[in-house]
Each structure stands twice: as C-alpha cells, then as structure tokens.
C-alpha cells in the first residue's frame, strides 16, 4: 500500500485466474490477443472499480506521477485510457506516493479520494477519466499523516469519510463531511477499529483500507490487517448498527487470506457489476517471492445466515483480469 512500483512490460505472465462461482460467473479472460499486443495482469495495488454509464473504470496505486485509469466492458480485459493519468501530480497538493484512489459519482460530479505524501486528499472532475483537479492545494487534514480515505453516504444523504490515522499503529477512523464532500468536520472524528484479533498480529499494528456498505439496515466495514508486505495480509470485516459505531469485528475473520495461489491479498473495495451482483476487488503480491508490482483480482461477495447471524462471505475463487498493452 505504501510503495510506488513502476510497471515493467517485459514478460507475459501466465494467467493465475480462477472462475468466480455462483452469483454471476466471470469466465477466464481471452487468451488470444492481437499479435502486436501484450496481455499482463492489471498492475494495481489498492484497486478500486467504478461502474458508470455501462463502462468499468479501475484506479489504483502504481504510477509515481499520479493515478492511472483503465477501462473495461466486461471486467476481464482492460485497456489504459488515452491520457493514462486520471490524476496528474501537477494538479495536486502532493508530489509523491499517490495511493489508494477511490472515485464516486455524486450529483453530476466525480470525486477522487486518495493519499499523497501520506496525507488524505480529494480532487474532482467532470469525467471518470479525469483530469481530476485538487482545487484547494492542501490535504483534508493538514496537521497529521492519514491515508486510505473512503467515502460513505448514508440513506439520509449525510456523507462520512473513513480513513486511517497514524496513531498507535494504523487504525481506522470516521468523520462527517460537509455537503461539499471535501471538508472534514474534525470535531466529529471518531475511532472505529484497531488491531484486536490474533490473526492481525503477524505484522505490527495495522488496520487499514476501510470500505463501508449497508446491507439490510446494518453497516459492514471491510478492512485489511498485517502489513501489505506480509504474505499474511488479509481481509476482515466489522459491523455496526450506526455508521459511527460501535464496530464489532466478525469472530470468523479473516474472510479472505491466501486464496488459491495468491499471497498478500488485501486493500479491497466493493461494487455492483452490470447484473447487480456484488463484487469485491483486491490486490495481491506479484508472487510468493516478489511483492511488486502487485496486481488486481476480483471475486464475488454474498451474505449468508449462520447461527442466527448474517455474515459476509467472499468467494475464495477469483478472477485475475488482464491488461492489454499494445
């Protein structure tokens, strides 16, 4: 999560994908591409997918000079946008470490929440392709380091921002936003979760990468624990009856860790595909021996009844999409 890796277009790696099972199947990406094209895994850490007007847009940690955007019609094969960068560092407050972008379409405008120089920022655009411009050239919280900011708008229209603070390790906080979706009401900041389960203690004190959705009146927060550098990086979740908590972690965590041949899986986000199926996108290590460049994977999310409790389930089967580089 906290590292910028340049993409090396030097070898066509074998596909590591499996097919997602029931709930809207994803087939394997096509193996035949034009002879002049190269097919590789999508090189994103901290990936996020937005579906807008019938097109999927993927954003992630990769470039040193901003945030890239790729597009797809089917979630399986992706291509880089013509201008490559949705967010260029010249249009931002920061000049390095562009991490963990999330893009939301609200009231006709696109908002990108991202980290730069280990501070949370927000930029806007009239297009999901960008250019995204940070109009106020300062972070959302200028006095301290924070990362991984994620927007959540409740049923009543009130906006909240979830993010990580660097206090007692990395832990997850929430705060209300002003209606401009750019200004944090700092007096409302409240701690959500910190390292508290045994599986999270492989690597020192990390709860990060929050994403929140609401299902049947209950709030579900996915998060990642252990360092992104650890093969034991994984995904857990917590629930609450109110967006401000208190948040209770699921006792069966982690719900995704080392699926199939993947290691270092985490920093996830969720989205609905064109059929209305809930999906989750997350990154994994390059291999069991190398961390970078990390790449993007997609699986299916469902909610199941177990012992009188509704639990979130991530299908351990996954698909690893391909980027077509011409």
Quick one: pLDDT at residue 326?
A: 78
131 preceded by a cis bond (ω within 30 of 0): yes
Q: What are phi and psi of 66, to 5 degrees?
A: 150, -150
If you average pLDDT over every residue of the chain, what do you get? 90
Whether the pLDDT of residue 215 is over 80: the answer is yes
Quick one: pLDDT at residue 124?
A: 98
CA atoms within 13 A on the CB side of 101: 33
pLDDT band at 203 (very low <50, low <70, confident <90, very high): confident
Quick one: pLDDT at residue 103?
A: 98
Buried b / exposed e over 122-158, threshold 16 CB at 10 Å, is bbbbeebbbbbbbeeeebbbeeebbbbbbbbeeeeee
71: exposed, middle or buried (Cβ count in 10 Å: 0-12, 13-18, 19+): middle
More confident residue, 259 or 143: 259
Query: Is residue 270 within 8 Å of residue 211, measured between CB atoms?
Result: yes
Buried b / exposed e over 250-283, threshold 16 CB at 10 Å, is beebbbbbbbeebbbbbbbbbbebeeebbbbbbb
Quick one: pLDDT at residue 288?
A: 95
Under DSSP, the state recorded for 61 is E
Query: Is residue 193 within 8 Å of residue 221, measured between CB atoms?
Result: yes
pLDDT, one tens digit per residue, over 254-271 is 999 999 999 999 999 999
Fold of 38-325: Tachylectin-2; Chain A (2.115.10)
202: exposed, middle or buried (Cβ count in 10 Å: 0-12, 13-18, 19+): middle
pLDDT, one tens digit per residue, over 269-312 is 999 999 999 999 999 999 999 999 999 999 999 999 998 899 99
Whether the pLDDT of residue 131 is over 60: the answer is yes
Under DSSP, the state recorded for 15 is P
3-state secondary structure of 96: coil
Quick one: pLDDT at residue 193?
A: 98
The CA distance from 168 to 231, in Å, is: 23
């Amino acid at each position: 999560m906290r590292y910028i890796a340049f993409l090396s277009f030097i070898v066509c790696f074998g596909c590591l994908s499996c097919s997602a099972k029931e709930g809207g199947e994803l087939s394997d990406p096509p193996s035949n591409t034009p002879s002049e094209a190269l097919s590789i895994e999508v090189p994103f850490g901290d990936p996020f997918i937005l579906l807008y007007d019938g097109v999927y847009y993927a954003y992630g940690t990769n470039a040193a000079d901003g945030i890239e955007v790729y597009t797809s019609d089917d979630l399986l094969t992706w291509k880089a946008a013509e201008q490559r960068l949705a967010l260029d560092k010249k249009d931002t407050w920061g000049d390095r470490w562009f991490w963990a972008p999330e893009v939301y379409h609200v009231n006709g405008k696109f908002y990108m929440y991202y980290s730069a120089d280990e501070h949370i920022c927000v930029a806007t655009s009239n297009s999901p392709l960008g250019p995204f411009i940070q109009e106020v050239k300062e972070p959302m919280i200028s006095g301290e380091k924070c990362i991984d900011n994620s927007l959540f708008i409740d049923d009543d229209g009130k906006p909240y921002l979830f993010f990580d603070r660097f206090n007692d390790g990395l832990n997850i906080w929430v705060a209300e936003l002003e209606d401009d979706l750019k200004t944090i009401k700092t007096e409302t900041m409240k701690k959500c979760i910190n390292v508290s389960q045994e599986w999270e203690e492989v690597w020192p004190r990390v709860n990060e990468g929050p994403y929140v959705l609401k299902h049947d009146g209950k709030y579900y927060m996915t998060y990642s624990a252990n360092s992104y550098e650890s093969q034991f990086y994984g995904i857990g979740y917590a629930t609450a009856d109110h967006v401000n908590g208190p948040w209770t972690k699921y006792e069966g965590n982690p719900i995704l860790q080392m699926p199939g041949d993947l290691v270092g899986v985490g920093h996830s986000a969720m989205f609905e595909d064109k059929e209305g199926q809930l999906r989750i996108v997350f990154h994994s290590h390059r291999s069991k021996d190398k961390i970078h460049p990390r790449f993007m994977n997609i699986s299916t999310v469902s909610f199941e009844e177990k012992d009188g409790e509704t639990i979130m389930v991530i299908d351990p089967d996954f698909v690893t999409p391909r980027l077509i580089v011409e």
